[in-house]
Amino acid sequence: MSALIRLFADICLFRRGPQHLPESRFLLGLTLATYGATSWILLGLETDWRIAALQVMVATTLLLGFVGATLASAAKSHRLTQTVTALVGSDTLFTVLAIACFLATAAAPAARSAAISLLTIWDILVIAHILRHALSQTYAVGLGLAVLYFIAVQNLLLLFLSTG
């Protein structure tokens, strides 16, 4: 298990890409479950647990749809398992760091906001890194897609929550 965590850490440090992960549906399921659980915990620290669960389900569905459509449009659908595994595995690490920041800065909202902002920027850069490898494109293409994905998810979650 520690080798797997190191592999996801290496992805977050831009040393490895999704192609370094095994193509395993079991690993995909494990990382999706871990991603869902950690995301639910983080979101539940700020909102009702039921709303947090809905947010996780919507965000996961959007991730799968975005990655599936992006890879399909580039004729790279065969990379879906590794790409999604890399994305949710790396995001799980960021979520664990965000939970730690949230708890460590409970008395300092400005510090919490700064820490979460830095983690978010780093996460977007890692998403770009993963997408560029998955699509065999430049980092600029990956970054454009990562920013587009981030903005779309934030807006769709706001829309979903405002109508729910």
Neighbours of 20 (CB within 10 A): 13
**Residues recorded for the chain:** 164
Distance between CA atoms of residues 146 and 107, nearest Å: 32
Give residue limits of the domains in the chain. 2-163
Q: Are 119 and 101 in contact (CB under 8 A)?
A: yes
Chain Cα centroid distance, residue 126 = 9
User: For residue 15, which phi and psi values (nearest 5 degrees)?
Assistant: -90, -25
The per-residue pLDDT string of the chain (164 residues; one tens digit each, 9 = 90 and over) reads 799 999 999 999 999 999 999 999 999 999 999 999 999 999 999 889 998 999 999 999 999 999 999 999 999 999 999 999 999 999 999 999 999 999 998 889 899 999 999 999 999 999 999 999 999 999 999 999 999 999 999 998 888 766 55
**CA distance readout (Å), 122 to 118, 119, 127, 149:** 6, 5, 9, 14
Distance between CA atoms of residues 74 and 76, nearest Å: 5
